[in-house]
Amino acid sequence: MDMKKASMIIDKDYQISKIDPRIYGSFVEHLGRCVYGGIYEPGHPSADEQGFRKDVIDMVKELNVPLIRYPGGNFVSGYNWEDGVGPVESRPRRLDLAWRTVETNEVGTNEFADWAKRVNAEVNMAVNLGTRGIDAARNLVEYCNHPSGSYYSDLRRSHGYKEPHKFKTWCLGNEMDGPWQIGHKTAAEYGRIATEAAKVMKWVDPTIELVACGSSSRGMRTFAEWEATVLDHTYDHVEYISLHTYYGNPQNDISNFLAKSLDMDSFIKSVISICDYVKAKKRSKKQINLSFDEWNVWYHSHESDKRLEPWTVAPPQLEDVYNFEDALLVGCMLITLLRHSDRVKIACLAQLVNVIAPIMTNNGGETWRQTIFYPFMHASNYGRGTALQTIVKSPVYDSKEFTDVPYLESIAVHNEENEELTVFAVNRDTTEGLLLECDARQFEGYRVVEHLVLENDDIKAANTAERPDAVKPHSGGEAKLQDGRLTAPLPKLSWNVIRMKK
């Protein structure tokens, strides 16, 4: 029987956009073992003089993450930033009402800034617009970004940080549309406080960029109306609006699960339309871009989390063990973000360590890479440059929630500077391989340097401390590029990275 086929035309002049590197951002929240037992564990054999785990730092560097959102998430809506600065021994232990834990405040803004430097990332700082307001927000900007000669900048200097951190991107709160959020607000209430906070934050430091909270998911009853109202208030004061989404496969329906990136695609298109509707209404010349600052698979740990004791320090919350099919959906979601790189300028894989994360650790023990680590690492390392508008024809299927789902999910990225062309492709077919035939005429003289493939006979296979390499990519893919024609067999259920170079 002949293999199913898909075709693609790649033209280097048909461009979607230059890819903003911040699309490969991630997220560290004071939640579960993300900070304590994750990035920070003073007693660990690999800990440095500040208590940061070097084994974790090394793994984060493999992901080449340029931006990390911090310190939450739901946590930020009850956080007093002042608790986390100054002498560690006098920092208070607080009840964190968002996650029902005890926060020791051993790690705060300055320590996190140090850690972010160690992994070559910028900090995307969030302010608390739940229990706090514009005063705490402007003071935090002054503390972090003002050079000296004022109360909060001199306070930072007295804490040992002579130079300002110069955090550039700031989030105006978190998921303020959600009733679970500490200090939940209506769209109008949030629109007002976000505008006033934005004004004073930018008066302290006019170089910062701001992200307003969009809906916490497309499924919220207030979705769309929320974005329109919030932007009506904040349009002239912010640069981005946020999107969050998490998918799961509790019904164990893989064809439907792998199609969920189509939902992400519609979500992005809808938010772009809302931004542009408000732009039209205001006769504005300014364009609001998107910050998809929480995205991932999240469902495996929902039940076990209900059994955890409240009010402990760093319990194992949200510790999803990702399997092979999750890595395929994460691959499809990365491709979707890249296809919208003209408007999605920031995206954060939520989260980075232990909490719904690509990197796992044992307290006092080893680190390992979850299945989702690989597509993210590949995209972040090889997906830099310009996203190309390819013309793709792929056979399609219908699933429970989606129609005309292409078996092939793909994007091509051209890095002109390094003379590299990379095709990222997922074959969603559960039963057979797909032959990708590609017209890449302007890339004559290029050759395939590597065809990486992530595939596995067991869709539920997962990496654990005992079997850290149960799911990992190999470079035995059979892509060939000859006379400007690329042919690549994509195995059933596989993530592929076809790297070509002059």
Is residue 175 a contact residue for ligand AHR (CB under 6 A)?
yes
Candidate residues 72, 84, 164, 385; the one interacting with ligand AHR per rule CB under 6 A: 72
Q: For residue 259, give the H/E element and its range.
A: none
Q: Which is nearer to ligand AHR, 175 or 205 (CB)?
A: 175
Q: Which is nearer to ligand AHR, 317 or 380 (CB)?
A: 317
Contact 2, 395 (CB under 8 A): no
Candidate residues 113, 172, 241, 350; the one interacting with ligand AHR per rule CB under 6 A: 350
- Angstrom distance (rounded) from CA 239 to CA 328: 31
Q: Which is nearer to ligand AHR, 72 or 164 (CB)?
A: 72
Catalytic (active site) residue 227:
no
Burial class, 56, CB count within 10 angstroms (exposed 0-12 / middle 13-18 / buried 19+): buried
- Number of C-beta neighbours around residue 400 at 10 A: 10
Catalytic (active site) residue 455:
no
Q: Which is nearer to ligand AHR, 74 or 354 (CB)?
A: 74
- Angstrom distance (rounded) from CA 227 to CA 230: 5
- Angstrom distance (rounded) from CA 229 to CA 241: 12
Burial class, 461, CB count within 10 angstroms (exposed 0-12 / middle 13-18 / buried 19+): middle
Q: How many residues in the shown chain lie near ligand AHR by CB under 6 A?
A: 10
Q: Closest approach of Cβ 29 to ligand AHR, in Å?
A: 5
Contact 392, 437 (CB under 8 A): no
For residue 485, what are the contacts with CB-CB under 8 A and spacing of at least 6?
A: 437, 438, 439, 440
Q: Which is nearer to ligand AHR, 88 or 220 (CB)?
A: 220
Q: Which of 122, 227, 239, 294 is catalytic?
A: 294
- Angstrom distance (rounded) from CA 119 to CA 107: 16
Is residue 174 a contact residue for ligand AHR (CB under 6 A)?
yes
Is residue 74 a contact residue for ligand AHR (CB under 6 A)?
yes
Give the per-residue contact string, 20-59, with ligand AHR (x = CB under 6 A; - = no).
---------x------------------------------
Q: Closest approach of Cβ 363 to ligand AHR, in Å?
A: 21
Q: Which is nearer to ligand AHR, 94 or 492 (CB)?
A: 94
Contact 197, 127 (CB under 8 A): yes
Complete DSSP assignment for 441-501: GGGTT-EEEEEEEE--S-TT-B--SSSTTSS--BS----EEETTEEEEEE-SSEEEEEEEE
Is residue 351 a contact residue for ligand AHR (CB under 6 A)?
yes
Helices (H), 235-383: 254-258, 261-281, 302-306, 324-339, 373-382
Is residue 291 a contact residue for ligand AHR (CB under 6 A)?
no
Is residue 294 a contact residue for ligand AHR (CB under 6 A)?
yes
Q: Find the part of the chain contacting ligand AHR (CB under 6 A) among 70-78, 150-158, 332-340, 393-401.
A: 70-78
Is residue 96 a contact residue for ligand AHR (CB under 6 A)?
no
Is residue 385 a contact residue for ligand AHR (CB under 6 A)?
no
In the block, tokens 């500077």 appear at 417
Q: Which of 29, 175, 325, 455 is catalytic?
A: 175
Interface with ligand AHR (CB under 6 A) = 29, 72-74, 174-175, 216, 294, 350-351
Question: What residues act catalytically?
Answer: 175, 294
